[in-house]
Amino acid sequence: MNMKRDIYEDVQLLKTGPARFWMLVLVISLLIIPFMLPNYSVYLINYMAINIIVALGLNILVGYTGQISLGHAGFFAIGAYATALLMIHLSIPFLLALVVAGLIAGAFGFLLGLPALRLEGPYLAIATLGFGMAVAQIIARVPLFGGHMGIEAPALDLGPLTVKGDKQIYFVIMPIAFFLTLAARNIVRTRVGRALTAIRDSDVAAEALGVNIAYYKTLAFAISAFYAGIGGGLMVFVLGFINPNAFDLIMSIMFLIMVLVGGPGAILGSILGAIVITFLMVKLDTIQTVPIIGDFLIFLSDTFFSRSGLPNISNIIFGVILVSIIIFERMGLYGIWLRIKIYWRTWPF
C-alpha cells in the first residue's frame, strides 16, 4: 500500500517509475526543441515560458490564497527595468541582477500586500489596479528609466559567453522556468501552501487554527511579485527593448486570464493557461490573414462595425473564452485535463 507517513512526502519528486520516465521525456524534449524549430517558434516558446513564470506566481496569490490582483503588470515592469538598469549602470552580472530585480519586485509586493489585510474583493482589485497604473506612469516620467522612449536591453553575458538570438536565450529562460515551476510546486505542498489554502477557504477559520493571516497574505503577495519580477527581467532580453507603454492594464488582465482559464489552484493549470493564452495573443493579431476565417471577420466588421474595430476581435475572443470557462468548467483547462486522464484510466469501461 502506498501510504504516506510524513506530510513532506508530498514534496518528493519522481517517486514512481512512470513519473521518472515522463520527466526524462520532458527534459529530453526541452533540450531538442530549439534545434528542431525555426527561430520564430522558439521565440514564441520563450514568450510562453515567461508567461508561465508570471502565471505560476499569480496563481499562488489568486488560486491558493484567494486574493485578487490587477497590478501584476507593475511588478513585471519593476523586474524588467530593475534588471536592465542594474546591468547597465552597476555592471551587475545577469543572474545576480535578475535575482535582485525579483527581490525588489517582491519587496513592492510585500508593501502592496499590507492593504490586502483590510481589503478584499473589488476594493483589493481597485487598489492593485491603481498600483499597476502608477508604476507605468512613474517609469514614463523619470529620465533614469528612459521616459516614454524606453531603454534597450543590455548584452546578455554569462561569464565569457554572450547569449544572442532566440535559440540561445531559450537555454537561459527554460532552466529558470523549470526551476521556478518546481519551486512553486513545493511551496503549495508545504506548510506555507496549506496555510494559504486555509486562508482562501476561510480566513476566520484559519486564524482560529493559529494561522498568521497578516504574515501569509503579505508573503503570498511577495512571492507572486517575485515571480512577476523574474518574468519581467527575462522579457527584456526576449524583446530587446522595453518601454512603459507595454505595461498597461491589458497586460495585468491577460495574466489573470491565464490563471482563470488554466485553472485556479493548480500548478499545471497555470502552465496550460499561459501556453494557450500566449498562443492566442500572438496568433489572433494576424487572424485576418487566415483564409476563409479572416475574410469572414473582415466582412463581419465592415457590415456591423468598422474596419478599425477588427484588431479588437482578439479581446472579444478572450472574453468569450473566459465566460465559457467560468460557466462550463470552473476548474479551467486543468479540469478538462483531469476528465481526459480519468477517462483514459478507466477506458473502455
- HSE at residue 252, side-chain half, CA atoms within 13 A, is 26
pLDDT at 102 > cutoff 90: yes
Among the listed residues 168, 3, 159, 39, the one whose alpha carbon sits nearest the alpha carbon of residue 93: 159
Domain assignment present for residue 12? The answer is: no
Structural domain that includes position 277: 37-285
pLDDT in tens, 68-79: 888 899 999 999
Maximum mean pLDDT: which of 24-33, 148-157, 223-232, 294-303: 223-232
Give the DSSP H or E segment for 22. helix 17-36
d(CA 196, CA 205): 12
Question: Of the given ranges (58-67, 158-167, 222-231), which has the lowest mean pLDDT?
Answer: 158-167
- Asked if pLDDT for residue 1 goes beyond 70, the answer is no
Asked if residue 348 has a cis previous peptide bond (ω within 30° of 0), the answer is: yes
CATH number at residue 87: 1.10.3470
Q: What is the pLDDT of residues 105-135, one digit of tens each?
A: 999 999 888 877 777 778 888 888 888 888 8
**Which comes out higher in pLDDT, residue 154 or 293?**
154
164-183 pLDDT, tens per residue? 888 889 999 999 999 999 99
Question: How does the average pLDDT of the chain come out, rounded?
Answer: 84
Q: Looking at 24-38, 147-161, 234-248, which range is the least confident one?
A: 147-161
pLDDT for the residue 208: 85
d(CA 173, CA 170): 5
Its sign, for the CA torsion 244, 245, 251, 253, is positive
Residue 30 placed within a domain: no
pLDDT (0 to 100) of residue 44: 92
Which pLDDT does position 325 carry in this prediction?
81
Give the pLDDT score at 299. 72
Q: Which residue has the cell 478538462?
A: 336
pLDDT per residue as tens digits for the range 219-252:
999 999 999 999 999 999 998 888 888 888 888 8
Q: Examine the pLDDT at 2 and tell me if it is beyond 60.
A: no
pLDDT on residue 177: 93
Residues 311, 305, 319, 180, Cα dihedral to 10°: 10
Among 277, 222, 246, residue whose Cα is nearest residue 47: 277
Q: Tens digits of per-residue pLDDT, 321-339?
A: 778 887 887 788 888 888 8
| Total number of domains constituting the chain | 1
Say if 340 falls within a structural domain. no
**158 phi, psi to nearest 5 deg:** -115, 90
Cβ distance 220 to 196 under 8 Å?
Answer: yes
In the three-class reduction of DSSP (H, G, I as helix; E, B as strand; rest coil), residue 330 is classed as coil
pLDDT, one tens digit per residue, over 261-307 is 888 888 989 999 999 999 888 877 766 666 676 677 767 666 766 65
pLDDT at position 146 is 80
* Highest averaged pLDDT of the listed ranges 87-101, 141-155, 205-219: 87-101
CB within 8 Å of 257: residues ≥ 6 apart: 273, 277, 318, 321, 322
Tell me whether residue 211 is in a domain. Answer: yes
> Is residue 314 assigned to a domain?
no
Q: Say what the pLDDT of residue 77 is.
A: 92
Share of the chain above pLDDT 70, in %: 88
CA distance between the termini of the chain: 25
**What would the grid cell of residue 101 be?**
530585480
In whole angstroms, give the CA distance from residue 317 to residue 99: 36
pTM of the model: 0.89
Q: What span, in angstroms and rounded, lies between the C-alpha atoms of 268 and 258?
A: 12
Q: Hunting for cell 538570438 — which residue is that?
A: 165
Confidence of residue 20 (pLDDT cuts 50, 70, 90): confident
| pLDDT on residue 9 | 64
Specify if 208 maps to a domain: yes
Please give the pLDDT value at position 311. Answer: 62
